[in-house]
Amino acid sequence: MSLTIDKDDYIIVRHRKKPTLCFVLNAKSCRAVIEKTLQTDEPEHITYELEDVLCNVGPNPLDGKIYGCDVMPYKRTIETKKFGPILIFRDMEPKELKALQAAMKSVYAMYEKQASVDFLPLYQIHLCPKKGKYAGSYHAKLKVGEAFDIMKLHPDTFSDPIYNEYLIAHEFAHGLWFRCVPLNLRVRWMNLYQKRLKLSSVNEQHLADLCHEVVRYEGTLRDYMKEVAEDEEKLVIKEVLNYFKRYHVMSSDDIDLMLAHDSGKLADMWPTRAMLSETRPDISQYSLKNVEEFFAEAISYHFSGRILPKDVQKGIKATFLACRK
């Protein structure tokens, strides 16, 4: 392959049989460093063979995947005492960085005053290009009893100061949860979360009536769901579909086939019990994902000065008190 390679290019090299992103240090002597190891204490240097170079993505590659390699070049690290090292994997306007640092400082002050900052400094904070539908994530890891937590931030932009504060307060709340909130209070948050999920059972008669209607209907179960069923009934039908999938390993096509040719058998197999779970979001829709997100949303809403439900306010008060001890 004839390829022009220059110093400071990123290239994908077949290294130990695997495509590997490398950063070229010296094109003449074919010296490069494995990009992934650049952020570690011991960057791994290699001498590549030209025939092993799969492609050259230049000195400033876009983020993405090439040959199955994640291309998200590491740029630099900002060392901070309070928060831990901030590793940058994206272009960052000085203005954005300033806005982010200001938000981190002000959120830190709020946590320090009201709750605790014992979960800081983190092992690493990553600033990444926009990825997926969420703006951040928190990875709690213990190695030989020590915390190696990583917070990843990947919003569209860091130029919105209000959003920065919300985002950091949310991700810090995960740190607080893992490192400072005592178990008895975690249980209290589980109860607060469960209160917002309403489980109701669908009775046998209801299910029998539905079965009768579906068998009489000229069409598939999915058509029935689309054209006849009301919103509440749609949830019941979804549960019926789940039941067939789970206990009879039947797809909705299988159900429709049986409905058309042996509806009596289908009626015999029809479920006699079903549970519905309805959510009652009173913080954010996202808060109902699980108890940790519920906690993180509550805490970040609290710090942004929004009014929270009474029981949640009390939970926060008790939690902060316990964290300060």
How far is the C-alpha of 133 from the C-alpha of 135, rounded, in Å?
Answer: 7
> Taking CB under 5 A as the rule, does residue 274 contact Zn ion?
no
> Taking CB under 5 A as the rule, does residue 296 contact Zn ion?
yes
**Structure tokens that stand for 166 in this block:** 């919300």
Mask 158-177, x = binds Zn ion (CB under 5 A)? --------------------
CB-count exposure of residue 111 (10 Å: 0-12, 13-18, 19+): buried
Count of all residues that appear for the chain in the document: 325
The interface with Zn ion within residues 111-130 (CB under 5 A) comprises none
Q: Amino acid letter at 140?
A: A
Beta bridge partners of 124: 150
Enumerate residues 6+ apart whose C-beta is below 8 A from 44.
Answer: 33, 34, 37
Cβ at position 287, least distance to Zn ion in Å: 9
Q: Which stretch binds Zn ion (CB under 5 A): 72-80, 221-229, 242-250, 292-300?
A: 292-300
What is the number of the residue whose Cβ is closest to Zn ion?
296
Q: Which stretch binds Zn ion (CB under 5 A): 13-21, 69-77, 271-279, 293-301?
A: 293-301
Nearer to Zn ion, 225 or 299 (CB): 299
Pairing relationship of beta strands 53-58 and 64-66 according to DSSP bridges: unpaired
C-beta atoms surrounding 158 within 10 Å: 22
Q: Which stretch binds Zn ion (CB under 5 A): 71-79, 240-248, 255-263, 285-293?
A: 285-293
Nearer to Zn ion, 140 or 269 (CB): 140
Please state the φ and ψ torsions of residue 69, each to the nearest 5 degrees: -90, 135
Q: Which stretch binds Zn ion (CB under 5 A): 106-114, 151-159, 199-207, 288-296?
A: 288-296
Q: Which residues lie near Zn ion (CB under 5 A)?
A: 293, 296
